[in-house]
Chain A
Amino acid sequence: DTGVSQNPRHKITKRGQNVTFRCDPISEHNRLYWYRQTLGQGPEFLTYFQNEAQLEKSRLLSDRFSAERPKGSFSTLEIQRTEQGDSAMYLCASRYDPGPNYGYTFGSGTRLTVV
Chain B
Amino acid sequence: DAKTTQPTSMDCAEGRAANLPCNHSTISGNEYVYWYRQIHSQGPQYIIHGLKNNETNEMASLIITEDRKSSTLILPHATLRDTAVYYCIVRGLSGSARQLTFGSGTQLTVLP
Q: Chain A residues in contact with chain B, CB under 8 A?
A: 4, 33, 35, 40-45, 48, 50, 55-56, 91-93, 97-104, 106-109, 111
Q: What is the interface size of chain B, counting residues whose CB is below 8 A from a CB of the partner?
A: 27
11 contacting pairs across A/B (C-beta < 8 A)? A4-B43, A35-B99, A42-B104, A50-B97, A97-B97, A101-B32, A101-B94, A102-B46, A104-B100, A109-B42, A109-B43
**Contact in complex: A93, B43 (CB < 8 Å):** yes
Cβ of A24 to closest chain B Cβ, rounded Å: 13
Cβ contacts under 8 Å, A42 to chain B: 85, 87, 102-105
Q: Is B10 an interface residue (CB 8 A)?
A: no
**Contact in complex: A33, B43 (CB < 8 Å):** no
Q: Is B53 an interface residue (CB 8 A)?
A: no
A56-B97, A98-B94 given; A106·B102 CB < 8 A: no
**Contact in complex: A101, B96 (CB < 8 Å):** yes
A42-B104, A56-B97, A100-B93 given; A108·B46 CB < 8 A: no
Interface of B is mostly: loop
User: A109 to B38, alpha carbons, bound, how many Å?
Assistant: 12
User: A43 to B34, alpha carbons, bound, how many Å?
Assistant: 15
Cβ contacts under 8 Å, B95 to chain A: 97-98
Cβ of B43 to closest chain A Cβ, rounded Å: 3
**Contact in complex: B41, A43 (CB < 8 Å):** no
A101-B49, A106-B45 given; A45·B101 CB < 8 A: yes
Q: Is B44 an interface residue (CB 8 A)?
A: yes
A55-B97, A102-B34, A104-B46 given; A43·B102 CB < 8 A: yes
In chain A, what residue has the closest Cβ to B98? A56
**Contact in complex: B43, A40 (CB < 8 Å):** no
What 12 additional pairs, Cβ within 8 angstroms, besides A106-B42, A109-B41, A109-B42?
A: A42-B87, A42-B105, A44-B102, A92-B43, A93-B44, A97-B97, A99-B94, A100-B94, A101-B96, A102-B49, A104-B44, A109-B43
Cβ contacts under 8 Å, A4 to chain B: 43
Cβ of B8 to closest chain A Cβ, rounded Å: 9
